Chain A
Amino acid sequence: MLLNKTVFVVDDDEELCQSVCALVSSLGGAARAFASAEAFLERYDESLRGVVVVDLRMPGMSGLELQAELARRNSHLPVIVLTAFARTPTTVRAMKAGAVTIIDKPYRDDELWDAIRTALAHEEAAWNVQKRRQEIHRRLLTLSAEERQVLDQIVEGKLNKVIAKELGLAVRTVEKRRHDVLAKMGAGSIAELVGMALEARPLETSSRLGP
C-alpha cells in the first residue's frame, strides 16, 4: 500500500514536521517535510502520489487554504489538517467539501497513523478515478466541434429526430455523427457514453474556467 507513495508533511514547526516523518518512516513509508504551504505548492505536480499532512495555522497560507488550492488544481491528493483547537465553521465547511480529514491536537497515539492509512486507501481509488477521467477527457478532445454538439444533445437525453430539428440537420447526418462519437470515445453503448461524459465533467468545467 505504501509503494510509490509519500506522506507530504507541511508545518512551520520543524520539530513536529520531523516527528511525523519519523512516524511514517518507522512504518516503512516515505515522507517529505515542507516548512510552508507555498514551499509545497512549488514542488507540486499532478503526478505526485500520497497524502498531505498540514498544520491549520501557519504564517502565510493556512492548511485549509492549501487544501482549497489543491482542489482548484484538480489534485486527487487527500489532505489531513492538524488543528490545535475546536473546529470552527471554516473547518466544518472544508470537511463537507470532501477530501479532507481534520485531526485535533493533541491526538491519541494511533489517530494520525490511522488517518494516513485511510487517506492512502482513498488515494488509490481517487487516483484511478482521476486516471480514467483524464483518459475520457483526452478522448473528448479528439471530437470535432460538430460531433461535440451532437454529444452534448445526447447527454441531455434527446432523440435523433429532435436533435436534427434543433440543429437544422438531416436525421441521417445526426445518426452518422453519433456513430463517429461512439467510435472515437470507445463507448459500447449510448448509456456508457453518457456515463463517460458525466464522469469527465469536473475536468471539463475546470479546463473551461481554468487559467
Chain B
Amino acid sequence: MGGSEPTSRELQEQNEELRAQLARERELTVRLLKLANASSDLHGLMREATALLQGWTGCEAVGIRLREGEDFPYFETRGFPQDFVRLENSLCVSSIDGQRIGDCQGNVVLECMCGNVLCGRFDPSLPFFTPHGSFWTNSTAALLASTTEADRQARTRNRCNSEGYESVALVPLRSDGTTFGLLQLNDRRPGRFTREQIDLLEGLAAGLAEAIGRRQSAQGFRLSLQLLAAIRDAQLQFITETSSRAAFGALLETLVTMTDSEYGFIADVICREDGRLATRNLAISDISWDAASRQLFQQWAASNWEFPTVRNLIGATVTSGRLVISNAVSHDPRSGGTPPAHPPLRSFMGIPMYSRGELVGMAGVANRPGGYTEDLAEFLTPFIVTCAGIIQTVRGQEKEKEAARALRQSEEKYRRIVETANEGIWAIDPGQRTTYVNRQMASMLGYAPEEMLGRLMTDFMFSEDLADHNAQIEKRRQGADSQYERRFRRKDGSECWTHVSATGIRGSDGDFLGSFAMYVNVNRLKADEKRLSLMGQQLQHAVRLATLGELAAGIAHEVNQPLCAIVNYAKACGNASRHPTPDLAKIGEWSDSIAMAAARGGDVVRRLCGFARRTELRPCKIAIQQLVRDAALLVRFEAEARAVTLRTEMPQDDLLVVAQPVQIHQVLVNLLRNAIEAFGHCRPTGRRVVVDVRRLVDRVWISVEDNGPGLSETVSERLFEPFFTTKPEGLGLGLAISRTIVEEHGGQVLATSNHENGASFHFTLPIAKDALQDAFEQDGFRR
C-alpha cells in the first residue's frame, strides 16, 4: 500500500479524537441550551454562558455586548482588563468632550469591527468574515498588515491588537432578524480558532440570542405592568388630590425613572394671546445643584413656568407636533443650546401629547445612558395618553370655574331675560313639582304664575301623554337634553301644543335636581300639520281615482262580462217560455244563472266603489288573501292585455290583519300594476307576476315579484321618492303613497332587484293580535 496512507492505528486515533471532539461539542451545546431554557434572569444567563464558553474555548477573555438604547456596551465580561472594558464600552463615535457624534441625520454611528458585526457591515468574500456576518482572525497583527481600512469596512480602533490580543472572534447575537448584541472571544495567543469552532459558536450564539429575546420580552412585559401601575396611581392621585401639580409630579417621577433619564418635565401647550404657542410646565425635575442653577430655577418659577416656543428641541417638538429624539444634542441642528446654569444636556426626547386630535402638551426627558429610541416612545404611549387626558380634564375644570364665575356675575341679567322672554320657561324639581314658571308660560296655559307654583307638571297634561312624558323625564335624569312636542291642558280644558327644549338641572355633585325647559306655542303649526295630513288623504284618494281611470279598460271588461251573461240568459228564458211546451227546468236553471251573474256584477261594482271611496277611516280585521284577490281582479285585465301571467301563492287559512282595506288594496293594486307594466318591451313571452303571501312569526309578508328587467341602481335609490317616476305618464306618487300607507299600518316596504330575475317588492303587515293567538295555538306554540 502507498506510504502516504495512514496506518490503521493512526486512523483509529484520528477517529477517536474526532469522536471525542464531537462529544465535547454536543455536551457544550446541550449545556448551553439547558442554560438558555433555565429560569435564570438575564444577568445569571450571561454570567454562566461566558464561563461555559471560556472553559470550552480556553480563551482568556470572553465578553458579551447587549443593546442599550442605540449603543451596545458590554453586559458581561470575563478575563478582560478593567481599563480595556471602560475604554471600549461604548461603540458610538464621540468627540473629545465625550459628546456623541451623529451622522447627518443625527443617527449614532457604531465604529470598529464590533460595530461592523452589529450593523451587518461585512463582505463575505473576505476570509475574516463568515457568510453569517461573524468576524474572526487568528492574528490581528497579520490582519492589520495585510488589509486596508476599506477592507475592514470602518475605522478600527485597533485596541484589541494594541492590547496584545492576536486571536479575536466576534459572533453576532441575532434572532429573527433582531440584533441583540455580540459575543466576543479574545486571546493573546495566535491561532486559537478553527473554522469549525466559529461555525459552532454561530449556532450557539443564535440559541443565546433567542434566550435573550425571551427574557427581554418578559422584562418588557414587567415594565409594561410597572407603567400601568404608575398610570393607575397617577390617575388615583389626580382624582383624590385637589391640586393637579402633585399628580403631574408623580407622573414625571415615573417617566424619568422608567426611561432611565436624569431629568425631565411635563408641560401643557397653550396658545398665547399673540398667537404663538407656549409651553407651561406642569411638573419639572429640580435640576438646581448650585447657587446659579437655583437662581435659574426660581426665575422660571416666577414666570409661572411659561415659555414661548423658541428654536430649540422643545420648540421642535411643539411646532412639529412629532416625536423628537436627539442622541447627540451638541451636534443637532435643532438644538438651540442651554442657558449657562442649565445642567449638561447630552441626549433628549420630546414626546407630544394629543387629546382628541389636539396637541395639548408634551413631555421632555434628558440624558438616558445609551440614548433614546422610537421603541421607547412607543412603549410610553399609554402613559402619554394618560397625561394628555389629565391635561384636557384640568383645562375643562378651569373653564368650568371660569364659567361659574361668569354665571354668578350675570345671574341678575339672566333673571331679567327670563322674566321678559317670549318663550315659556318652566322648572320642576325631581318630584315634578313646579319650582319656577314665568309669566309667558303661565299665560300660555291660561293661568297666573302663582296658581302653577308647587303643582305637579302632570296636572297640566293629558293622561294619554303621560307615558311619553315620563320617558322624557327619565332621559333627562340620565343626562340627555331633549327637544320634542308636548300638549298641555289649558285652564279652559283646551289643548295647547308646545315645542319643548329641555335640560336637566344638576348640583355640583352631579345630582339630578330637576328639569328646566323652554316652551314655544305651536298651536298654529299643529293646525297646519293636520291640514297637511288631510291633504295626504285627499292625495291618496286622487291617486286612487287616477288609477281607476287608467284601469278603465279592465274595469269595463269586468262589468260587461256579467251584464252580457245576464242579457243572454234572459233572452234564452224569454225564448224558451214562448215555446209551445216550455222546458221549465231549463228556464229555472237559466234564471238562477241570471241571479248569479247579477251578483257577480254587483260584487265588481262594490269592489270598485270601495276602491274609489274617499277613505274608510275605521280599520277592520280582514283576511289578507281577500285583499290580494280583490286587487288581482282589478289588474287582471291589464295583465292579460300585456300577456302577463298573474299568479297568487297564498296559504289556505285566512291570515287576518287589522287594516283599512281600501288603503292596503291601493298598495297591492299599485305594486301589481308596477310589476305588470315593468316588462315594457322586454321578455315578449313567459312574462310572470307572482304574489306570494306568507306568515312570518307575527306578521304577514307579501311579495310581488316579476321576471321583468329589474331595477337599475339609480332607480332603486329613488324608488320611494315622491314624484319620481320612470313611466311617461306616471305621477310618481304610487310607491311614496304605498310606503306611507304601509308604515301607518305598522309595516315596512322593501324593494329588491335581481337583473336576471326581475324586481320584487315586499311589504309586511302585523297580524291581528287575537289572530296571532289562534295561530300560535294551532301551531302548538302554547303549552
A: residues with CB less than 8 A from B are 13, 15-16, 18-20, 22-23, 25-27, 57-59, 82, 84-85, 105-110, 112-113
Cβ-defined partner of A19 (8 Å) among B553, B572, B637, B641: B572
- The distance in angstroms between the C-alpha atoms of A85 and B569, with both chains bound, is 22
Q: Hey, which chain A residues are within 8 Å of B567, CB to CB?
A: 19, 106-109, 112
Distance in Å: Cβ of A121 to nearest Cβ of chain B: 19
Is B565's CB under 8 angstroms from A84's CB? Answer: no
- The distance in angstroms between the C-alpha atoms of A113 and B600, with both chains bound, is 24
Distance in Å: Cβ of B32 to nearest Cβ of chain A: 93
Q: Hey, which chain B residues are within 8 Å of A27, CB to CB?
A: 575
- The distance in angstroms between the C-alpha atoms of A113 and B556, with both chains bound, is 22
Chain A CB within 10 Å, residue with most, of B561, B566, B590: B561
Cβ proximity bits B732-745 to A, threshold 8 Å, 1 near / 0 not: 00000000000000
Q: Hey, which chain B residues are within 8 Å of A13, CB to CB?
A: 561, 565
Is B560's CB under 8 angstroms from A19's CB? Answer: no
Is B600's CB under 8 angstroms from A23's CB? Answer: no
Is A15's CB under 8 angstroms from B572's CB? Answer: no
Interface residues of B in 517-567 (CB under 8 A from A): 553, 556-557, 560-567
Is B556's CB under 8 angstroms from A16's CB? Answer: no
Closest to A103 in B: B564
Is B562's CB under 8 angstroms from A15's CB? Answer: yes
Is A26's CB under 8 angstroms from B565's CB? Answer: no
Distance in Å: Cβ of B577 to nearest Cβ of chain A: 9
- The distance in angstroms between the C-alpha atoms of A58 and B640, with both chains bound, is 7
Is B641's CB under 8 angstroms from A22's CB? Answer: no
Is A82's CB under 8 angstroms from B564's CB? Answer: yes
Is B568's CB under 8 angstroms from A19's CB? Answer: yes
Closest to B587 in A: A26
- The distance in angstroms between the C-alpha atoms of A18 and B572, with both chains bound, is 11
Query: How many chain B residues touch the partner (CB < 8 A)?
Result: 31
Is B640's CB under 8 angstroms from A59's CB? Answer: yes
Cβ proximity bits B660-672 to A, threshold 8 Å, 1 near / 0 not: 0000000000000
Q: Given known contacts A18-B593, A26-B571, is B640 in contact with A57 (CB within 8 Å)?
A: yes
Is A105's CB under 8 angstroms from B563's CB? Answer: yes
Distance in Å: Cβ of A39 to nearest Cβ of chain B: 17
Chain B CB within 10 Å, residue with most, of A18, A26, A57, A112: A26
Closest to B639 in A: A59
- The distance in angstroms between the C-alpha atoms of A18 and B586, with both chains bound, is 13
Question: Could you jot down 13 A-B contacts, CB within 8 Å?
Answer: A16-B564, A16-B565, A16-B568, A19-B566, A19-B597, A22-B593, A25-B572, A25-B586, A27-B575, A57-B640, A105-B563, A109-B567, A112-B567
Is B576's CB under 8 angstroms from A26's CB? Answer: yes
- The distance in angstroms between the C-alpha atoms of A15 and B557, with both chains bound, is 13
Task: Decide yes or no whether B258 CB sits under 8 A from chain A.
Answer: no
Q: Hey, which chain A residues are within 8 Å of B596, CB to CB?
A: 15
Task: Decide yes or no whether B570 CB sits under 8 A from chain A.
Answer: yes
Is B571's CB under 8 angstroms from A113's CB? Answer: yes
Is B637's CB under 8 angstroms from A57's CB? Answer: yes
- The distance in angstroms between the C-alpha atoms of A155 and B576, with both chains bound, is 54
- The distance in angstroms between the C-alpha atoms of A160 and B701, with both chains bound, is 85
Is A85's CB under 8 angstroms from B553's CB? Answer: yes
Q: Given known contacts A84-B560, A85-B553, is B568 in contact with A22 (CB within 8 Å)?
A: yes
Distance in Å: Cβ of A157 to nearest Cβ of chain B: 49
Distance in Å: Cβ of B602 to nearest Cβ of chain A: 14
- The distance in angstroms between the C-alpha atoms of A175 and B506, with both chains bound, is 130
- The distance in angstroms between the C-alpha atoms of A109 and B566, with both chains bound, is 10
Distance in Å: Cβ of B513 to nearest Cβ of chain A: 75
Q: Given known contacts A58-B640, A84-B557, is B564 in contact with A105 (CB within 8 Å)?
A: yes
- The distance in angstroms between the C-alpha atoms of A15 and B574, with both chains bound, is 19
- The distance in angstroms between the C-alpha atoms of A106 and B571, with both chains bound, is 14
- The distance in angstroms between the C-alpha atoms of A112 and B571, with both chains bound, is 10
Q: Hey, which chain A residues are within 8 Å of B597, CB to CB?
A: 15, 19
Cβ proximity bits B574-608 to A, threshold 8 Å, 1 near / 0 not: 11100000000010001001001100100000000
Cβ-defined partner of A57 (8 Å) among B563, B565, B566, B641: B641
Q: Which 4 A-B pairs have the closest CB atoms?
A: A19-B568, A26-B572, A26-B575, A19-B565
Cβ-defined partner of A22 (8 Å) among B556, B569, B640, B643: B569
Is A106's CB under 8 angstroms from B563's CB? Answer: yes
Is B556's CB under 8 angstroms from A85's CB? Answer: yes
Q: Hey, which chain B residues are within 8 Å of A108, CB to CB?
A: 567
Distance in Å: Cβ of A61 to nearest Cβ of chain B: 11
Q: Hey, which chain B residues are within 8 Å of A113, CB to CB?
A: 571
Is A57's CB under 8 angstroms from B557's CB? Answer: yes
Task: Decide yes or no whether B209 CB sits under 8 A from chain A.
Answer: no
Is A15's CB under 8 angstroms from B575's CB? Answer: no
Distance in Å: Cβ of B676 to nearest Cβ of chain A: 13
Is A109's CB under 8 angstroms from B570's CB? Answer: yes
Q: Hey, which chain B residues are within 8 Å of A22, CB to CB?
A: 568-569, 572, 586, 590, 593
Q: Given known contacts A26-B586, A57-B637, A82-B564, is B593 in contact with A15 (CB within 8 Å)?
A: yes
- The distance in angstroms between the C-alpha atoms of A92 and B329, with both chains bound, is 105
Closest to A112 in B: B568
Task: Decide yes or no whether B231 CB sits under 8 A from chain A.
Answer: no
Task: Decide yes or no whether B573 CB sits under 8 A from chain A.
Answer: yes
Is A106's CB under 8 angstroms from B560's CB? Answer: yes
- The distance in angstroms between the C-alpha atoms of A76 and B745, with both chains bound, is 60
Cβ proximity bits B457-473 to A, threshold 8 Å, 1 near / 0 not: 00000000000000000
Q: Hey, which chain B residues are within 8 Å of A20, CB to CB?
A: 568
Distance in Å: Cβ of B645 to nearest Cβ of chain A: 8
Q: Hey, which chain B residues are within 8 Å of A18, CB to CB?
A: 565, 593
Cβ-defined partner of A15 (8 Å) among B553, B561, B570, B586: B561
Q: Hey, which chain A residues are within 8 Å of B575, CB to CB?
A: 23, 26-27
- The distance in angstroms between the C-alpha atoms of A15 and B576, with both chains bound, is 19
Closest to A108 in B: B567
Closest to B589 in A: A22
Is A23's CB under 8 angstroms from B568's CB? Answer: yes
- The distance in angstroms between the C-alpha atoms of A59 and B560, with both chains bound, is 17
Q: Hey, which chain A residues are within 8 Å of B571, CB to CB?
A: 23, 26, 109-110, 112-113
Cβ-defined partner of B572 (8 Å) among A16, A23, A84: A23
- The distance in angstroms between the C-alpha atoms of A105 and B564, with both chains bound, is 7
Closest to B582 in A: A26
Distance in Å: Cβ of A137 to nearest Cβ of chain B: 37
Closest to B573 in A: A26
- The distance in angstroms between the C-alpha atoms of A78 and B575, with both chains bound, is 24
Is B641's CB under 8 angstroms from A107's CB? Answer: no
Is A16's CB under 8 angstroms from B641's CB? Answer: no
Closest to B594 in A: A19
Cβ proximity bits B125-150 to A, threshold 8 Å, 1 near / 0 not: 00000000000000000000000000
Q: Hey, which chain A residues are within 8 Å of B566, CB to CB?
A: 19
Q: Hey, which chain A residues are within 8 Å of B643, CB to CB?
A: 59
Distance in Å: Cβ of A111 to nearest Cβ of chain B: 9
Q: Hey, which chain B residues are within 8 Å of A59, CB to CB?
A: 640, 643, 645
Q: Hey, which chain B residues are within 8 Å of A110, CB to CB?
A: 571
- The distance in angstroms between the C-alpha atoms of A24 and B561, with both chains bound, is 18
Q: Given known contacts A82-B564, A84-B553, A106-B563, is B569 in contact with A19 (CB within 8 Å)?
A: yes
Q: Hey, which chain A residues are within 8 Å of B576, CB to CB?
A: 26
- The distance in angstroms between the C-alpha atoms of A26 and B584, with both chains bound, is 11
Chain A CB within 10 Å, residue with most, of B562, B565, B569, B574: B565
Q: Hey, which chain A residues are within 8 Å of B569, CB to CB?
A: 19, 22-23
Closest to A105 in B: B560
Interface residues of B in 621-643 (CB under 8 A from A): 637, 640-641, 643
- The distance in angstroms between the C-alpha atoms of A157 and B492, with both chains bound, is 110
Closest to A56 in B: B557
- The distance in angstroms between the C-alpha atoms of A110 and B566, with both chains bound, is 13
* Extra A-B contacts (14), CB below 8 Å, given A16-B561, A57-B641, A82-B564: A15-B596, A16-B564, A16-B568, A19-B565, A19-B593, A22-B569, A23-B568, A26-B576, A57-B557, A59-B645, A84-B557, A85-B556, A106-B560, A106-B564
Distance in Å: Cβ of A100 to nearest Cβ of chain B: 18
- The distance in angstroms between the C-alpha atoms of A22 and B590, with both chains bound, is 8
Chain B CB within 10 Å, residue with most, of A15, A27, A110: A15
- The distance in angstroms between the C-alpha atoms of A37 and B576, with both chains bound, is 29
Q: Hey, which chain A residues are within 8 Å of B593, CB to CB?
A: 15, 18-19, 22
